[in-house]
């Protein structure tokens, strides 16, 4: 088993997916939708609770040290339902005292009262989606909040004693320039959250951006400008006290997101709610995407609906591949010693030769047993990984030919 802790109970992360939003953003391909019917939300919360209950004994030996409520917009739930769900997590699982407990909250979806009650229930980290403080950029993204909404919510969170806040930002978005992004970063770092995520806009099938690509394309900064934006940002954020620790993540010392680090360290987590993903007991599996089916499958005893959509056992070689793929997202990279103790094999022997050209090209550094991607390497990491990894490293999938 992938248990990083060598003493005490094994550790586990819990992810809860809330697929509801007040409105759908133009770039979003996550499983989320605008839900008007309060009854559906209540049933959904009941379903997630029932779903978690079914794992009570399987997770009984674990200490849960990270919890993450993501979406969608968890705060789109009626406050009572959200709080009920938070309490249920704590009731069902052994949530450690010092656990990191994150809830995603969009500006203008939370009241001070809700924030304060969440905080008192043990939620100690908020993740807020700002994306951009520039109104024209926000509008193009289809966000419903304004910069003023965000500032109000952020101050409210501070007042409610949240001392670990993440702000989500995006780059490569319509109308953005290197200057406007620099301004965004200045604005946010002055506000002073503990953590900043900076995601590169990817236009995914099924989104309004994808459907209107021809209209949007001329407003996008383009590949070269995006690369410059990325490298600028890494520099700027480091100077402002937020060193990069993952491709898209930056934090003050000690504030890296412990839950997300689980993903990148190949540690175990259980996901509840539609489209949630788990890595547990040597398997990766996901939950069906449809809300109605999920509610029925989780709450109706005689239902024949299976909650699990995909389920695969991760073989030894694939675990290595995953580890390389995920750890190279981290600035800390892959440590030869750690790799050996985990897999009993040498990273150097397996991949050393293929790393040479990446090191020579300035995409990778290999010093004192640690292999890591440089910022340049990170921004082309798909190309690097698809060169570096073998098909066996990636498991077996079929692409129809």
Partner 1 sequence: MASEKQKHIRNFSIIAHIDHGKSTLADRILEFSNTVAARDMEEQLLDNMDLERERGITIKARAVRIDYDAPDGERYALNMIDTPGHVDFNYEVSRSLNACEGALLVVDATQGIEAQTLANAYLAVDADLEIVPVINKIDLPSAMPDKCKAEIEDVIGIPAEDAPVVSAKTGLNIASVMSAIIDQIPPPDGDENAPLRCLIFDSVYNSYLGVVVYIRVEEGTLKTGDRIRLMHTGAEFDVVEVGVMDPFGLRPTGMLTAGEVGYLTASIKNVSDTRVGDTVTHADAPADEPLPGFKKVQSMVYAGIYPSDGARYNETKDALEKLQLNDAAFTFEPETSIALGFGFRCGFLGLLHMEIIEERLEREFNLDLITTAPSVIYEIKKKNGEVVRIDNPTNYPAPDEIETASEPIVAASVITPTEYVGGIMDLCQDRRGVFIDMKYLDPTRVELHYRLPLNEIIYDFFDALKSRSRGYASLDYELSGYEPSNLVKLDFLLNGELVDALTFIVHADKAYARARKIAEKLKDNIPRQLFEVPIQAAIGSRIIARETVKALRKDVLAKCYGGDITRKKKLLEKQKEGKKKMRQLGSVEVSPEAFMAVLKLDDDQ
**SS3 state of residue 25:** coil
Q: Closest separation between CB of residue 132 and partner 1, Å?
A: 15
14 or 160, CB closer to partner 1? 14
Question: Across the chain, how many H-helices and E-strands are there?
Answer: 16, 17
Q: Within 277-296, which residues bind partner 1 (CB under 8 A)?
A: 277-279, 284, 286
- Residue from 226, 250, 288, 330 that binds partner 1 (CB under 8 A)? 226
- Residue from 108, 191, 227, 240 that binds partner 1 (CB under 8 A)? 227
- Residue from 133, 297, 321, 333 that binds partner 1 (CB under 8 A)? 321
Q: Closest separation between CB of residue 30 and partner 1, Å?
A: 7
Q: Within 75-134, which residues bind partner 1 (CB under 8 A)?
A: none
Please give the Cα distance from 164 to 399 (Å, whole number): 42
List the Cα angle 287/104/331 in 5-degree steps: 85
- Strand-pairing partners, residue 229, are none
Number of residues that bind partner 1 (CB under 8 A): 53
Q: How is residue 9 written in tokens?
A: 């109970």
Q: Closest separation between CB of residue 62 and partner 1, Å?
A: 16
Q: Does 248 bind partner 1 (CB under 8 A)?
A: yes
Q: Does 325 bind partner 1 (CB under 8 A)?
A: yes
Q: How is residue 208 written in tokens?
A: 């309004």
How distant, in Å, are the alpha carbons of 85, 279, 311 from that of 53? 12, 18, 20
Q: Closest separation between CB of residue 257 and partner 1, Å?
A: 12
Q: How is residue 385 written in tokens?
A: 């990984």
The window from 127-135, 205-213, 233-241, 270-278 that contacts partner 1 (CB under 8 A) reads: 270-278
Please give the Cα distance from 169 to 185 (Å, whole number): 9
Please give the Cα distance from 270 to 307 (Å, whole number): 13
The window from 51-59, 291-299, 335-343, 382-390 that contacts partner 1 (CB under 8 A) reads: 382-390
Residues 6+ apart with CB under 8 A from 265: 4, 326, 327
In terms of Cα–Cα distance, which of 112, 117, 142, 143 is closest to 130?
Answer: 143
Q: Does 263 bind partner 1 (CB under 8 A)?
A: yes
Q: Closest separation between CB of residue 185 and partner 1, Å?
A: 16
Strands (E), 298-391: 308-313, 334-335, 364-367, 370-373
193 or 321, CB closer to partner 1? 321
Please give the Cα distance from 297 to 316 (Å, whole number): 32
**x/- string (CB under 8 A) for partner 1, residues 35-74?**
-----------------------------------x----
Q: Does 262 bind partner 1 (CB under 8 A)?
A: yes
Q: Does 399 bind partner 1 (CB under 8 A)?
A: yes
Q: Within 9-38, which residues bind partner 1 (CB under 8 A)?
A: 15, 17, 30
Q: How is residue 176 written in tokens?
A: 């953005």
* DSSP states of 216-281: HGGGS--HHHHHHHHHHHHHHHHHTT--EEETTEEESTT-S-HHHHHHHTT--EEEESTT-EEEET
Q: Does 380 bind partner 1 (CB under 8 A)?
A: yes
Q: Closest separation between CB of residue 253 and partner 1, Å?
A: 23
145 or 262, CB closer to partner 1? 262
**Rounded to 5 degrees, what are φ and ψ at 196?**
-130, 130
Q: Closest separation between CB of residue 272 and partner 1, Å?
A: 11
Residues that bind partner 1 (CB under 8 A): 15, 17, 30, 70, 199-200, 202, 223-224, 226-227, 230, 247-248, 260, 262-264, 269, 271, 275-279, 284, 286, 310, 312, 321-322, 325-326, 329, 358, 361, 363, 378-387, 389, 391, 394-395, 397, 399
């Amino acid at each position: 088993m992938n248990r990083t802790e060598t003493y005490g109970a094994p550790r586990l992360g819990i992810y809860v997916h809330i697929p509801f939003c007040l409105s759908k953003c133009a770039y979003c391909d996550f499983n989320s939708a605008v839900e008007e019917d309060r009854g559906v939300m209540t049933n959904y919360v009941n379903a997630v609770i029932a779903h978690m209950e079914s794992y009570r004994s399987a997770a009984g030996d674990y200490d849960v040290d990270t919890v993450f409520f993501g979406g969608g917009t968890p705060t789109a739930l009626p406050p009572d339902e959200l709080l009920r769900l938070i309490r249920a997590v704590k009731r069902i699982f052994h949530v450690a005292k010092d656990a990191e407990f994150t809830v995603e909250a969009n500006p203008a979806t939370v009241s001070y009262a809700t924030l304060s009650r969440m905080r008192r229930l043990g939620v100690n980290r908020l993740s807020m989606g700002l994306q951009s403080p520039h109104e024209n950029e926000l509008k193009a993204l289809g966000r419903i909040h304004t910069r003023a909404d965000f500032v109000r919510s952020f101050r409210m969170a501070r007042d409610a004693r949240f001392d670990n806040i993440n702000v989500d930002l995006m780059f490569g978005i319509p109308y953005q320039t290197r200057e406007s992004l620099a301004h965004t970063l200045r604005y946010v770092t002055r506000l002073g959250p503990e953590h900043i995520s900076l995601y590169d806009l990817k236009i995914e099938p099924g989104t309004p951006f994808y459907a209107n690509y021809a209209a949007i394309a001329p407003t996008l900064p383009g590949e070269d400008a995006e690369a410059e934006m990325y490298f600028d940002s890494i520099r700027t954020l480091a100077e402002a006290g937020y060193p990069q620790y993952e491709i898209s993540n930056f934090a003050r010392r000690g504030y890296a997101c412990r839950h997300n680090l689980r993903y990148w360290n190949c540690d175990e987590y259980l996901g509840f709610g539609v489209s949630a993903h788990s890595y547990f007991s040597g398997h990766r599996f996901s939950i069906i995407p449809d809300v109605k089916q999920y509610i029925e499958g989780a709450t109706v005893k005689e239902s024949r609906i299976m909650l699990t959509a995909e389920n695969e056992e991760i073989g030894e070689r694939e675990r290595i591949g995953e580890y390389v793929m995920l750890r190279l997202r981290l600035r800390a990279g892959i440590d030869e010693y750690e790799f050996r103790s985990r897999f009993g094999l040498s990273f150097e022997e397996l991949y050393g030769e293929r790393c040479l050209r990446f090191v020579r090209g300035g995409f990778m550094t290999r010093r004192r047993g640690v292999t890591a991607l440089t910022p340049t390497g990170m921004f082309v990491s798909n190309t690097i990984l698809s060169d570096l990894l073998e098909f066996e490293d990636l498991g077996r999938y079929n692409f129809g030919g």
